[in-house]
């Protein structure tokens, strides 16, 4: 920690951190390092064997004597044997696009500060909206539009703020105490966090429609409904109620009601965001299933001004004619921050280089592999699939060996033990959740490099350790 001085280069006069020749050499070396890393990716444990007590901050280790292509303490998210959480996918096109974006390094807070950055983002979000078959109202040409943000949490927070503003404008600021938003008990935890940040009160009703009607009768003001297509825990899909007709004063920004096959096509207009991991190419986080790498999250809205008027700023030093013309998009008014990275380039390159057919085949391949895993689980009488598989996540466990609460408790312990054994082997990484009170192993298929042989080998590992886990858990 105190060794920074040792790294000073002797002559500050010669310090040129963007020297082209230096960059060329260092960047080519970095690429070779990455190629070596990927060549050996399956030969190292997916999860490190670190104890929390071993921390670089508290006990620094000596510098490595030779290059290490598997930095210690890394969980290898790109390892094809990674089946934990939801995998984050990546591609050559995205890596190159992102490198190029880093090298150009524009800070595209408004249109003028780098017009091409904004234009490319608008174009790419329109492409993706068409690919996932969003209603036309979400395209720029129809008054809607899309923006890239770092995380879904930020996107949700922005729409919450827009929805709150809209409701309070109708109800007056006295309504501030009566605002209420709705989500299910399986909604991602980040929604509750966004509500906390925006100081909104969130309900988790059993019946959305009944709750909203009762709340409206009691004088509360519904602001937002968060429906999830593909929850994090088990990829469940929220039932979307037929949308009630609200008196204008309390309508939570609802514009229309339609359905598509896989996702609600409408919602409170400022709140429409595709959360979770929806099927086919309904996808809002390209950094999960669409090969872009972190971070890249889409938000589309139907009605641009509803979002931008609640987030706009207009300091003197950013005033300019393009903004005043009203003809351009200033993305700083679509997000929490002002500055922003050129995230669109990697998404553009992924879509432009690979094309829709390959992207679809990639996602279908993951779903097919997950289906194969589900079938193998179902064929072994010791195991059961706990909730129906949707998309590419299988939630399964070893069955209880006897009925009743004691049997369930034993099964929980045995499954916990099984997951530990499997993960500690270093050969695969999977995680758990709890559904309806029972402990369940989550097996999420979908790193870029995962093939059928990895899925089969993972299943063999679970099978092989099953009986021993029962014994050990007793």
Footprint of a copy of itself on residues 35-94 (CB under 8 A)? 35, 37-39, 48, 50, 52-53, 55-58, 60, 71-78, 84-85, 88, 90-94
What is the nearest approach in angstroms of a copy of itself to the Cβ of residue 37? 7
Asked if residue 431 binds a copy of itself (CB under 8 A), the reply is: yes
What is the nearest approach in angstroms of a copy of itself to the Cβ of residue 83? 13
Token digits of residue 76: 């290898």
What is the nearest approach in angstroms of a copy of itself to the Cβ of residue 104? 7
Question: Closer CB to a copy of itself, residue 353 or residue 463?
Answer: 353
Asked if residue 188 binds a copy of itself (CB under 8 A), the reply is: yes
Asked if residue 372 binds a copy of itself (CB under 8 A), the reply is: no
Question: Closer CB to a copy of itself, residue 77 or residue 240?
Answer: 77
Asked if residue 387 binds a copy of itself (CB under 8 A), the reply is: no
When binding is defined by CB under 8 A, the residue of 207, 256, 260, 313 that contacts a copy of itself is: 313
Q: How far apart are CA 276 and CA 270, in angstroms?
A: 18
What is the nearest approach in angstroms of a copy of itself to the Cβ of residue 210? 26
230 φψ region: left (φ > 0), alpha (ψ -120 to 50), beta (else): left
What is the nearest approach in angstroms of a copy of itself to the Cβ of residue 255? 23
When binding is defined by CB under 8 A, the residue of 19, 375, 406, 460 that contacts a copy of itself is: 19
Q: How far apart are CA 347 and CA 93, in angstroms?
A: 9
Question: Closer CB to a copy of itself, residue 244 or residue 426?
Answer: 426
Question: Closer CB to a copy of itself, residue 257 or residue 338?
Answer: 338
What b/e string do you get for 234-262 counting C-beta neighbours within 10 Å, with b at 16 or more? Answer: bbbbbebbebeeeeeebbbbbeeeeeeeb
When binding is defined by CB under 8 A, the residue of 107, 210, 249, 409 that contacts a copy of itself is: 107
Query: Which residues in 323-352 contact a copy of itself (CB under 8 A)?
Result: 325, 327-328, 336-342, 351-352
Query: Which residues in 203-232 contact a copy of itself (CB under 8 A)?
Result: 232
What is the nearest approach in angstroms of a copy of itself to the Cβ of residue 423? 10
What is the nearest approach in angstroms of a copy of itself to the Cβ of residue 93? 7
Question: Closer CB to a copy of itself, residue 230 or residue 293?
Answer: 293
What is the nearest approach in angstroms of a copy of itself to the Cβ of residue 371? 17
What is the nearest approach in angstroms of a copy of itself to the Cβ of residue 270? 14
Query: Which residues in 252-311 contact a copy of itself (CB under 8 A)?
Result: 287, 291, 293-295, 310-311
What is the nearest approach in angstroms of a copy of itself to the Cβ of residue 54? 9
Taken as a whole, the chain contains a residue count of 474
Angle at 366 between CA 151 and CA 95, to 5 degrees: 50
Asked if residue 98 binds a copy of itself (CB under 8 A), the reply is: yes
Question: Closer CB to a copy of itself, residue 75 or residue 257?
Answer: 75
The one segment of 208-216, 353-361, 370-378, 399-407 that binds a copy of itself by CB under 8 A: 353-361
Residue in this structure with the two tokens 């299943």, named with its chain if needed: 459
When binding is defined by CB under 8 A, the residue of 81, 233, 275, 308 that contacts a copy of itself is: 233
When binding is defined by CB under 8 A, the residue of 143, 358, 452, 460 that contacts a copy of itself is: 358
Query: Which residues in 109-128 contact a copy of itself (CB under 8 A)?
Result: 111-117, 119-120, 122-123, 126-127
Applying CB under 8 A, the site for a copy of itself has a residue count of 148
Token digits of residue 74: 């890394």
Query: Which residues in 137-166 contact a copy of itself (CB under 8 A)?
Result: 140-141, 150-154, 157, 161, 164
What is the nearest approach in angstroms of a copy of itself to the Cβ of residue 361? 3
Which three-class secondary structure string do you get for the chain? CCCHHHHCCCCHHHCCCCCHHHHHHHHHHHHHHHHHHHHCHHHCCCCCCCCCCCCCCCCCCCCCCCCCCCCCCCCCCCCCCECCCCCCCCCHHHHHHHHHHHHHCCCCCCCCCCHHHHHHHHHHHHHHHHHCCCCHHHCHHHCCEEEEECCHHHHHHHHHHHHHHHHHHHHCHHHHHHEEEECCCCCCHHHHHHHHHHCCCEECCCCHHHHHHHHHHCCCEEEEECCEECCCCCCCECCCCCCCCCCHHHCCCECCCCECCCCECCCEHHHCCCECCCCCCCCCCHHHHCCCCCCCEEEEECCHHHHHHHHCCCCHHHCCHHHHHCCCCCHHHHCCCCCCCCCHHHHHHHHHHHHHHHHHHHHHHHHHHHHHHHHHHHHCCCEEECCCCECCEEEEEECCCCCHHHHHHHHHHHHHHHHHHHHHCCCCECEEEEECCEEEEEEECCCCCCCHHHHHHHHHHHHHHHHHHHHHHC
The one segment of 209-217, 219-227, 356-364, 376-384 that binds a copy of itself by CB under 8 A: 356-364
């Amino acid at each position: 920690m105190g060794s920074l001085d040792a790294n000073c280069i002797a002559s500050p006069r010669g310090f040129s951190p963007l020297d082209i020749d230096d960059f060329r050499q260092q960047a080519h070396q970095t690429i070779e390092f990455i190629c070596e890393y990927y060549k050996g990716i399956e030969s190292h444990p997916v999860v490190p064997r670190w104890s929390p007590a071993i921390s670089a901050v508290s006990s620094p280790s000596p510098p490595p004597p030779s290059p290490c292509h598997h930095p210690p303490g890394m969980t290898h998210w790109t390892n094809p044997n990674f089946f934990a959480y939801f995998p984050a996918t990546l591609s050559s096109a995205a890596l190159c696009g992102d490198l190029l974006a880093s090298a150009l390094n524009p800070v595209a807070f408004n249109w003028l500060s780098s017009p091409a950055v904004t234009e490319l983002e608008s174009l790419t979000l329109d492409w993706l909206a068409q690919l996932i078959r969003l209603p036309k109202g979400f395209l720029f040409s129809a008054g809607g539009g899309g923006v890239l943000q770092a995380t879904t949490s930020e996107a949700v927070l922005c729409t919450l703020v827009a929805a709150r503003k809209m409701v309070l404008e109708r109800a007056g600021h006295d309504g501030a105490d009566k605002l209420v938003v709705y989500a299910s008990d399986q909604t991602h935890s980040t929604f509750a966090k966004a509500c906390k940040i925006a100081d909104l009160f969130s309900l988790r009703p059993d019946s959305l429609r009944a709750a909203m009607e009762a709340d409206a009768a009691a004088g509360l003001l519904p602001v937002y409904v968060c429906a999830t297509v593909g929850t994090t825990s088990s990829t469940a899909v929220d039932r979307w109620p037929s949308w009630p007709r609200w008196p204008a004063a309390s309508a939570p920004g609802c514009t229309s009601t339609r359905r598509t096959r896989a996702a609600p096509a409408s919602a409170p207009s400022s709140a429409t965001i595709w959360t979770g991991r929806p099927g086919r190419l309904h996808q809002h986080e390209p950094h999960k299933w669409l090969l872009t790498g972190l971070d890249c999250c889409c938000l589309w809205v139907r009605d641009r001004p509803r979002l931008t008027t609640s987030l706009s700023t207009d300091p003197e030093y950013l005033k300019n004619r393009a903004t005043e013309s009203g003809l351009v998009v200033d993305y700083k008014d679509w997000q929490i921050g002002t500055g922003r990275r050129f995230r669109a380039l990697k998404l553009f390159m992924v879509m432009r280089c690979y094309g829709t057919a390959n992207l679809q085949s990639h996602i279908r391949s993951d779903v097919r592999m997950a289906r194969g895993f589900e079938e193998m689980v179902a064929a072994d009488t010791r195991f059961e699939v706990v909730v129906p598989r949707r998309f590419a996540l299988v939630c399964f466990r070893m069955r209880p060996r006897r009925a009743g609460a004691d049997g369930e408790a034993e099964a929980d312990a045995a499954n916990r033990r099984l997951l530990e054994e499997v993960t500690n082997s270093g050969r695969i990484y999977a995680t758990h959740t709890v559904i309806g009170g029972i402990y369940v192993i989550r097996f999420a298929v979908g790193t870029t490099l995962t093939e059928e042989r990895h899925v089969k080998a993972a299943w063999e590992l679970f099978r092989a350790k099953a009986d021993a886990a029962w014994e050990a858990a007793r």
